[in-house]
Chain A
Amino acid sequence: MQHVTENKFVEDINRNIGIIHKVSNVYFTDADDRKDASQEILYQLWRSYPAFKGDSKFSTWMYKVALNTAITYSKKGNREVPTDMQTGNWEQLAASNDQRADLERMGLLYAAINTLSVTDKAITLLYLEDNSYDEIAEITGITKTNVSVRLVRIKRTLKEKLKNII
């Protein structure tokens, strides 16, 4: 537990604590799974922390660890989509309440992201978090051009799913 007792680790994590929760929220729909995944991410961050030499932004490193953990930790196949998030329900959800609260709309956004493949989920999350294409490429290992191409496709998919909702 030597590294954990270092205040620096806790401080660094706390400054970026949102990353852990956002990654868990994007990859896991069940509350227990999310909690478990968040703890696993924290554990993997702790394990990898001594190897972090500061050659990239701390948040970039944290995204790498968190996304790597979420992607390989999930036991489910990434083609698996919960039935209540299938495309068929979107229009009904959109029409149900025009005054939808932002939180509700966020829930729908998460649900729409959940229908994407594991890689597209990562790219979408990183894009929404305002990472540059270079940073997305660095974190995912995909070329910048490919990131750009995939974002176009993701935008088209999400636009279709979220039209008239947000």
Chain B
Amino acid sequence: METLDDAKNLWQNTNEVNQPALNKAAVENIIRARIKKEKKSAADYFWLSFAYQILIYAFASHLIIKYWGDGRMMLLCAAGVLLYIPLTVILMRKFKAMLNPPAQRVANIQGNVKNQYTLLSQFFSFKKRFELLSLPLTSVILTGIIFMLYVPGGVEANLTGAAITCIVTLLIYSAAAWFENKKHFVHPLNRLKFILEDIAQVN
């Protein structure tokens, strides 16, 4: 091939795609399947998060009822529940908004990638702030409850042990969050950033 024009000739002479025309039923089937897939993806995330919430609420409710009258235990459990309710609602709303952005005029490639990058990075920033608050608090609450329930003397009598347990719990939570963020946010954001740089490149 001497020039890209030769390729263009070849392309236009031989690249007539003889794809069968789609009928209405086929189009509807494909779209139904994609909607189902998209909903399933959102539902998987929702139910996973919901199951985790149910565990927290069930555990906290159980302890509140069992230790009714014990002010500190009730306070810790209530703090756990109260911490998660508003943050979960906000998280789910933002997730839903990210998944189903309102229909709008189709942007060019550069605009679209920019939008995707902004949307994802905004959600990621919120998630990081959410984690910055929720992970230490969850670790503290969980450590407090465990020591009150299972360690004689509670936190006061075992400050070093409680601190170590709290730090270990926090490290486990942080590691899980780090891996999740890397897979679902850092890598996709890097990829989008690379595409943006590629688009912006002049030479």
Interface residues of chain A, those whose CB is within 8 Å of chain B, are: 1, 4-5, 7, 9-10, 13-14, 17-18, 21-22, 39-40, 42-43, 46-48, 50-53, 61, 64-65, 67-68, 71-72, 77-79, 102-103, 105-106, 109, 117-120, 122, 124, 127-130, 138-142, 146, 149, 151, 153-155, 158-159, 162-166
Contacts and interface: CB of A to CB of B under 8 A. Distances in A.
Contacts of B15: 22, 106, 128
B96 interface: no
A21 B17 contact: yes
A154 B4 contact: yes
B31 A1 contact: yes
B10 A105 contact: yes
A166 B6 contact: yes
Contacts, number: 158
A113 to B, nearest CB: 9
B109 A78 contact: no
Contacts of A7: 24
Label chain A's interface by main secondary structure. helix
Label chain B's interface by main secondary structure. helix
Given A43-B34, A53-B105, 8 more contacts: A10-B22, A43-B30, A64-B112, A78-B195, A106-B14, A122-B109, A154-B4, A166-B1
Interface in B103-117: 103-113, 116
Given A42-B30, A42-B31, A64-B106, A130 B8 contact: yes
A78 B198 contact: yes
B203 A17 contact: no
B27 interface: yes
A156 to B, nearest CB: 9
